[in-house]
Structure 1
Amino acid sequence: MGISAQYYAHARILHLLLPLKPPFSSSSSSSSSLLRPNPSPLATTTTTTTTTTTTTSRGLLCCFSSHGNPRRGRESRGGGGGSAEGESGFVVASFYKFVLVADPEAEVAKQLSFLQERNIHGRIYVNEQGINAQYSGPTTDAMAYVEWLREDPRFSDILVQLSPALSGHAFPRLKLRYKPSLVQLEGGVSHLPLVDPSMRATPLTPSEWRKRLQNGRNVDIFSSNIDSSASEKEFLLLDVRNGYEWDIGHFRGAERPNVDCFRSTSFGLSEQEVDASDPLTGIDKERTDILMYCTGGIRCDVYSTILRQKGFKNLYTLSGGVSNYLKSEGPAEWLGNLFVFDSRLSLPPSTYNPEKDSEGEPQLVSESTMLGKCYICGSQLLDFRHRNCANLDCNRLFLCCSSCAKELRGCCGADCVGAPRLRPVLLGRQRYQKWHIYRDGEFPKEITA
């Protein structure tokens, strides 16, 4: 895959609370305030009230919280899948669960009622197939939600991933609503047998995953000169994420996503006998182990049902995803940082387990890899942090060195430099403000981080 196609960001993002104005495409996005929203007739204007509740055309409740002064004192720790806490006492939590929810509208209303008085910001989606949540808040509030949810037998065994949010909330507000697809995939996922465990891949614990990577032999279907060993079992390691996530960190030997966005993933779907972009083409579906991983596990679970229907027998996923692995095993077999879909963007392995990686620096590999390279000039980067193109109508998420950022005025390429709506050049760790500040063409001369 050419470098020009490697850094498009296509993640579905938050609706903002201001009236939306086209033109904007829903095909390019990133996370938190770096992203532009999809036009929605449900958007409302914020007021000075603590919580705004809207009703959609389905009669479903959406809650948007905007606490003026979030509590920043040290909060007590709670149980549930690990503990991580920043100096501010805030954490980022994520979990998902595929389970039959007979009345998702009622479930949304019930959860909304519980969270209204709590300082929780994030994205929580519910539908007939379960729940998918990523949110931030003080540790007490974050874990109170988990403990309350676990009282429901349907969610009693949820695996919660925690990491510190040193600057307070990692999300601008709370968005709790019904969503037809818990994961965005072309064609939707409502038709997939997600609630049937037998149709999903077999989960491996982090320690089992590590042993498998260290003791196995990765398949190379294009090489006919591989030494066989009775003590080694063949497997294929698939990164089931977005391309730009792989570019700043991945497991050693993993196949890079063959598309830029998970939404368009096509592993195992090729009808050609030999397809260089699809590592699953031509492999033995009965004998080859397929090991898949993603950030938190949900994308692998979803995609494994597709591969199961395609006849792949030996499917395995990393339980809890990379975040759970780094907490348990540290950076063993992992290269680089982990991309996260909140305002932090990139986290070193030490975020999850400081004791196993006290340095906290990205593990650079050979110059022949694409790990941490500038999208424009290809130079190696030490700071694995994406930026958005200064062209408001492009907004591509990409990695860039400071020299190229200055030369191209913060744009991802020469074509964008001459665009009519350019935001100011931001250097270092500065980030653009919400897109609506620029939408009418009134661009501030100076933007602060």
Structure 2
Amino acid sequence: ERSPATERGDERPRLLREGRRRRAWRAHRPGGVAALTPTAEGQGVDGGGTSAGGEFVVVNFYHFVPIENPKAEVSKHQMFLQGRDVHGRIYINKQGINAQYSGLREDALAYAEWLKEDDRFSGILIQISPTLRGHAFPRLKLRYKPSLLEGGVSHLPLIDPTMRATPLSPSEWRLRLQDMNSSVEPSSNERGLNHNRKILLLDVRNGYEWDIGHFNGAQRPDVDCFRSTTFGQTEQSDSDPLAGVDKANTEILMYCTGGIRCDVYSTILRKRGYQNLFTLSGGVSHYLKSEGPVGWVGNLFVFDSRLSLPPSAYKPENIAEGEVEVLPESSTFASCYICRSHVSELRHRNCANLDCNLLFLSCPSCMEELRGCCCPDCTYAPRLRPVHPANQRYEKWYIYRDSEMQRNSLA
């Protein structure tokens, strides 16, 4: 769950030229790529606005399905993507596929449509969001991976749908949240638990993701890495919202960014005896596109160079370049990691100390005073990167090291 460094901005003209050459070549070759056709709502590749030359999009999907020869499957995908402008992470194993990638719109959607032609993947939910500055990933990593998620989940019965939670559509999820919140006084809704209806709202993400956006009533996870999540695996713990819960009579509503973490974790909870498990189908990203920000507060953290997306990003016709979602004054859940003051710009930054690299929220004053570091100690570190004028991803260390060496040689 590490966010890769952003692609250099000056790479886009070259990528656009290469993309135009590839499109021209494919248009004139025999048996060129057929025009994309929209499919049923929720299953097609219809997001991202009107197509234009050089438009980039980010595509996310996953699917649990038996794959007899995953390494041969990887080779097939590599052959299809050869010559296409796609960057990202695409992992395949015997349990299915997990993909997050960016690319020129034509190339990105062609891959999704090609995949859906295979009966094993025909029902896959393809999610699309805009990227305004070229690629959101530095390169393509398409390979066999023993576990589709960090932490090792290949031993879980993920292919068996009866072991996973029951998926709720975005509209069903919204109604369930409204029903839950309408009968609970704010003072009694501790840890997201509706004591009257025995409903619990569980955020199955990392703490830093919750910090910039979450559903009302969800407790902040106390972990910063999904593989460290222990919800439902302890008998008594103040930090575990499932501790002491009636496993047979409590409805547990689980959500994450795109849905895969909930599907994985629900199998763990199912094996531990939790009976009434429900997940938000397609995760928060699918919900924001379908229902808007009803019940949602803040932005959505994403694991690519964009870092954070406002709810309006899922309706591309309404987004302007450089838009940052600002919280209303009444919303004060986001705070500076250093001084704990209110933060209105919901976008993380990495500590300028390369050997720390902590992902954190910072107010402008602390960012300036500590030169982009997360604490005073880090300001004395030997490998310090420059402070970004905006909350962007850092490049590789050698870029800053070589620049510093060049400046010293000219001094």
TM class by shorter chain equals 0.7 to 0.9
CA positional deviation for 1:356 = 9.0
CA positional deviation for 1:89 = 1.7
CA positional deviation for 1:443 = 6.5
1:414 aligns with 2:387: no
Partner of 1:246: 210
Partner of 1:196: 160
Choose from 109, 113, 117 the match for 1:147.
113
Q: How does 1:31-430 map to 2 (within 5 A)?
A: 31-33=3-5, 69-71=17-19, 79=38, 80-85=44-49, 88-185=54-151, 188-217=152-181, 228=196, 233-272=197-236, 275-353=237-315, 361-364=325-328, 366=330, 369-371=332-334, 373-430=335-392
CA positional deviation for 1:72 = 7.5
- Relative distance call for 1:215 and 1:159 in structure 2 (3 A) is same
Which is worse superposed, 356-365 or 385-394?
356-365
CA positional deviation for 1:133 = 0.3
- Relative distance call for 1:347 and 1:70 in structure 2 (3 A) is farther
CA positional deviation for 1:249 = 0.4
Q: Secondary structure at the match of 2:19?
A: coil
What do the CA deviations read for 1:389-429 (whole angstroms, capped 9, x no partner)?
A: 11110111111122111111211001211112111222334
- Relative distance call for 1:114 and 1:242 in structure 2 (3 A) is same
Instruction: Report the aligned-residue RMSD.
Output: 3.0
1:205 aligned partner, one-letter code: S
CA distance in 2, matches of 1:69, 1:344: 23
CA distance in 2, matches of 1:77, 1:396: 41
Unaligned runs of 5+ in 2: 8-13, 24-34, 39-43
CA distance in 2, matches of 1:153, 1:305: 25
2:19 aligned partner, one-letter code: R
CA distance in 2, matches of 1:336, 1:382: 9
What do the CA deviations read for 1:287-311 (whole angstroms, capped 9, x no partner)?
A: 1110111110000000000000010
CA contact (8 A) 1:98 1:195 kept: yes
CA positional deviation for 1:150 = 1.0
Q: TM-score, normalised by structure 1?
A: 0.77
Unaligned runs of 5+ in 1: 1-10, 12-29, 36-65
CA contact (8 A) 1:78 1:143 kept: no
CA contact (8 A) 1:34 1:434 kept: no
1:255 aligned partner, one-letter code: Q
- Relative distance call for 1:227 and 1:260 in structure 2 (3 A) is closer
CA distance in 2, matches of 1:329, 1:357: 17
CA contact (8 A) 2:165 2:279 kept: yes
What do the CA deviations read for 1:121-163 (whole angstroms, capped 9, x no partner)?
A: 1110000110000011122211111111111111111000001
CA distance in 2, matches of 1:268, 1:184: 19
- Relative distance call for 1:259 and 1:69 in structure 2 (3 A) is same
What do the CA deviations read for 1:312-352 (whole angstroms, capped 9, x no partner)?
A: 00000000000100000001000000111111111100011
CA distance in 2, matches of 1:161, 1:215: 27
Higher helix share goes to which structure?
2
CA distance in 2, matches of 1:222, 1:118: 50
- Relative distance call for 1:214 and 1:355 in structure 2 (3 A) is farther
Q: Secondary structure at the match of 2:232?
A: coil
Q: Secondary structure at the match of 2:5?
A: helix
CA contact (8 A) 1:331 1:357 kept: no
CA distance in 1, matches of 2:406, 2:295: 45
Identity %: 62
CA distance in 1, matches of 2:74, 2:149: 17
Q: How many residues align?
A: 376
What do the CA deviations read for 1:268-290 (whole angstroms, capped 9, x no partner)?
A: 01133xx1100101111111110
CA positional deviation for 1:90 = 1.3
CA positional deviation for 1:116 = 0.5
- Relative distance call for 1:70 and 1:413 in structure 2 (3 A) is farther
1:339 aligned partner, one-letter code: F
